[in-house]
Amino acid sequence: MHYDVGFRSEPEGRTGFAHLFEHLMFQGSESLEKLAHFRHVQGSGGTFNGSTHQDYTDYYQVLPSAALERALFLEADRMRAPKITEENLRNQVDVVKEEIRLNVLNRPYGGFPWILLPPVLYSTFANAHNGYGDFTDLEQATVDDCAAFFDTYYAPGNAVLTVAGDIDVERTIDLVEKHFGDVPAREVPPRPSFAEPFPASEQRGTHQDAHAPLPAVALGYRLPDPVGELDAYLADVVLAAILSDGDASRLQQRLLHRESLAVDVHAGCGLMGAPLDARDPDTFTITAIHTPEVGLDRVVAAIDEELDALASEGPSADELARVTARWAASLHREHDRVISRTLDLGSAELLHGRAELISELPERIGEVTAEGVAAAAKALRADARAVLEIEPAGDENGGAA
Cα separation of 243 and 253, whole Å? 9
Predicted TM-score (pTM) of this structure: 0.95
The arithmetic mean of pLDDT across residues 258-271, rounded, is: 97
Q: Hey, is 287 helix, strand or coil?
A: strand
The full DSSP string for 373-397 is: HHHHHHHS-GGGEEEEEEEETT-TT
Angle at 70 between CA 65 and CA 72, to 5 degrees: 90
Residue 398 pLDDT level (bands cut at 50, 70, 90): very low
Neighbours of 197 (CB within 10 A): 10
Q: pLDDT (tens digit, 9 = 90+) per residue, 195-206?
A: 999 999 999 999
The arithmetic mean of pLDDT across residues 98-123, rounded, is: 97
pLDDT at 399: 41
Q: pLDDT (tens digit, 9 = 90+) per residue, 140-182?
A: 999 999 999 999 999 999 999 999 999 999 999 999 999 999 9
197-201: list long-range contacts, CB under 8 Å, 24+ apart.
198/222, 198/384, 199/121, 199/384, 199/385, 199/386, 200/384, 201/383, 201/384
pLDDT at 273: 86
| Spatial contact of 259 and 302, defined as CB atoms under 8 Å apart | yes
Residues near 236 by beta carbon (within 8 Å), at least 6 away in sequence? 223, 224, 269, 275, 284, 376
Nearest alpha carbon to residue 58 among 96, 99, 18, 118 = 18
pLDDT at 379: 98
Domains contained in the chain, CATH given: 2-180 (3.30.830.10), 203-392 (3.30.830.10)
Average pLDDT, the chain: 95
Q: pLDDT (tens digit, 9 = 90+) per residue, 216-257?
A: 999 999 999 999 999 999 999 999 999 999 999 999 999 999
| Spatial contact of 339 and 164, defined as CB atoms under 8 Å apart | no
Residue 393 pLDDT level (bands cut at 50, 70, 90): confident
Cα separation of 100 and 94, whole Å? 10
Residue 30 pLDDT level (bands cut at 50, 70, 90): confident
Q: Hey, is 186 helix, strand or coil?
A: coil
| Spatial contact of 44 and 64, defined as CB atoms under 8 Å apart | yes
pLDDT at 394: 65
Residue 329 pLDDT level (bands cut at 50, 70, 90): very high
pLDDT at 153: 96
Residue 183 pLDDT level (bands cut at 50, 70, 90): very high
Torsions phi, psi for 199 (to 5 deg): -60, 140
Cα separation of 310 and 400, whole Å? 33
Cα separation of 312 and 289, whole Å? 27
The arithmetic mean of pLDDT across residues 20-45, rounded, is: 92
Nearest alpha carbon to residue 121 among 198, 176, 173, 18 = 198
The arithmetic mean of pLDDT across residues 61-75, rounded, is: 96
